[in-house]
Amino acid sequence: MESLTCFLNEALTIAFVIFFCLYFFLYKLKSKGIKLKSPPGPRPWPLLGNLHLLGNHPHQSLSALAKIYGSIMFLRLGSVPTVVVSSPAMAKEFLKAHDLVFASRPNCAVGKYICYNHRDVAFVPYGAYWRQMRKLCTVELLTVKRIESFRFVREEEVSAMIRCIWQESGHGAQCVDVRKRLSSLTQNITCRMFASRTYSDNELSGGHGFKEMAEEMTTVSGAFFIGDFIPSLDWLDLQGFRRRMLAVHKIFDRFAEKVIDEHVHRRLEKGEHNEEDRVKDIVDVMLDMAETEGQTISRVDIKAMILDMLIAGMETSVTLVEWAVSELLRNPATLARVQQEMECAVGRNRRIEESDVKKLDYLRCVVKETFRLHPPLPLLIPHESMEGCSIEGYFIPPKTRVYVNVWAIGRDENVWKDAHQFKPERFIGSNKDVRGQDFDLLPFGGGRRGCPGITMGLSVSELALAQLLHCFDWTVEGEVDMTEGFGITVPIKNSLFACPKWRLATEYPV
Ligand code: HEM
Ligand SMILES: *[C@@H]1O[C@H](CO)[C@@H](O)[C@H](O)[C@H]1NC(C)=O
């Protein structure tokens, strides 16, 4: 009896030891696997994950974190697995080598409440609808040929802006709000592109102007909306963003309805008289398609497209040109060189035209340098993985959000010499470009989801900047304030006020 108990005891102990060893071994194996697989990152808090680390300028906070954890970093934002990419080599992995895997967008509140429940191009997840709309952009709406056909619009409107600035400054007697003028410039240009006419602020409901509407949209799109990351808190709308998104969506929707109604009306009249012979605008093209057999473009799709064009077309170029002018005002020698180049190429007897800009190499270096230090969308638009993917030995699970921190790449001392100085010279003689082939300079993103409006964005920005510097000398009172503001596009916090002085030999514009 005693020996039996002893035996049982022993057997039990042995079984226990074996079980424990096995368990421990398996556990080790598993956790080792996971550790190997997930990129490094800060320890998440319960519920919040790492959300509390983002602060008011997420691209800056993430850049500081990447200095600790490396150029591929794993965060948990609420319950959402997130990867932040902060080096050219890594950006190439995500936007080129594994482009398709990361070609989706997360399902987020902006897409839902502002972009017609994911009917636009920029925020819609990957799929047949995105492919159709994207193709429409690249082969119809934003082709080089169509952009070229709107050249007269850009030239007219840039000259109108110059006139406006001169008048508003009381012929150089006082400073003007440069961003405000740039905003109405890009507003006028994009409206004429999609609707063949300009709209004034009082044609917008809600008592606000286009500038306020566009700024509100980029602000709420840049915010990290808690409901996107902690779904259980979605209903609370703690930050008040859902309310703001719905409000600004409503204002935009009334405007888009009006634009389409006008077009439908005009087409009916045109049917009767058949006399109109103008350049087709983007809404025309889309309405034509909607009337074609076999096409499935709805009114909502057209509105969503207008939305993307207006917001993408307005805010990005404004941000860029405002940063460029501000940098130049802080770097007088650089500014003098830009103006010198324009004098050689064009002289002072006439305005700069779009065809002149091609000859202004140094000006284009200034634009590149501004893109490097002040990419208008510092974190691009968030991407999302469609399936699991292994990169550099790390495993990225499906449905992971990806932020490519192009702002951090542009300011990385390991990538750029004197990264924190504004030195357009660095681009002289280099064929580095901003169009998505050089992964250290990615202001337009890259790959399948890269910006389809590059040609358009560059032509507007370059021409506007050229004329601002060719027509005027500028002075500011005190220091130029370079503090960053807030939003998916990051503007200067306090918009630039500067005083123009006429510098062409020709008459003042009246
Ligand atoms: C200086 C001007 C511009 C800059 C810096 C810029 C930058 C960008 C960036 C960074 C993205 C996201 C890329 C990514 O997530 O990988 C993007 C997407 C997009 N941009 Fe632009 N953009 C500019 C002008 C324009 C213009 C003028 C238009 C059209 C009129 C436009 C239309 C779009 C659209 C539709 C998308 C979404 C593409 C997609 O998700 O498939 N952009 N842009
Ligand atoms: C935009 O267009 C309106 C209406 O044509 C015009 O009054 C205004 O001066 C334009 N704005 C700028 C900055 O050119």
Residue 154 in contact with ligand 2 by CB distance below 6 A: no
Atom 24, ligand 1: which residue's CA is nearest?
457
| Cβ of 48 below 6 Å from ligand 2 | no
> What dihedral angle (degrees, nearest 10) is formed by the CA atoms of 346, 352, 353, 355?
40
Alpha helices in 331-416 (DSSP H): 332-345, 354-357, 361-373, 406-410
Give the distance (Å) from ligand 1 centre to CA of residue 443: 9
Query: What stretches in the chain show pLDDT beneath 50?
Result: 29, 31-35
Q: Calculate the alpha carbon distances from 426 to 381, 430, 431 in Å.
A: 28, 8, 11
Q: Looking at residue 32, what is its pLDDT?
A: 46
Ligand 2 atom at minimum distance from 157 CA:
14
CATH value of 34-502 in 1.10.1040.50, 3.40.50.11750, 1.10.630.10, 1.10.287.3510: 1.10.630.10
Q: Can you read off the two tokens belonging to residue 13?
A: 């102990």
User: According to the model, what pLDDT value does residue 146 have?
Assistant: 92
Task: Establish whether residue 312 lines the binding site of ligand 1, counting it when its CB lies within 6 angstroms of any ligand atom.
Answer: yes
Q: What is the pLDDT of residue 331?
A: 96
**CA 147, CA 92: separation in Å to the nearest integer?**
29
Any idea where the domains of the chain sit in the sequence?
34-502
- Torsions phi, psi of 339, nearest 5? -70, -35
How far apart are alpha carbons 405 and 412 in whole angstroms? 11
Distance CA 342, CA 345 (A): 5
Q: How far is CA 22 from the centre of its chain?
A: 52
- C-alpha of residue 477 to centroid of ligand 2, in Å: 27
Helical segments of 196-240, H only: 210-222, 226-229
DSSP state at residue 99: T
Quote the tokens at residue 97.
């080598």
Dist. CA 86–CA 89, nearest whole Å: 9
CA distances from residue 181 to 213, 319, 395 in whole angstroms, order as listed: 15, 12, 48
Is the separation of the CB atoms in 212 and 201 below 8 Å?
A: no
Rg (alpha carbons) of the chain, rounded to whole number: 27
**Overall pTM surpassing 0.85 (yes/no):** yes
Instruction: Give the pLDDT of residue 25.
Output: 52
For 52-98, the three-class secondary structure string (H helix, E strand, C coil) is: HHCCCCHHHHHHHHHHHHCCEEEEEECCEEEEEECCHHHHHHHHHHC
> What pLDDT score does 374 carry?
98
pLDDT of residue 289: 87
Residues 70 and 39: their CA atoms lie apart, in Å, by 9
Q: How far is the CA of 321 from the centre of ligand 1 (A)?
A: 16
| Residue 162 CB–ligand 2 contact under 6 Å | no
pLDDT at 33: 47
Residue 157 CA to ligand 2 center (angstroms) comes to 7
The CA–CA distances, whole Å, from 70 to 74, 82, 119, 195 equal: 10, 14, 36, 47
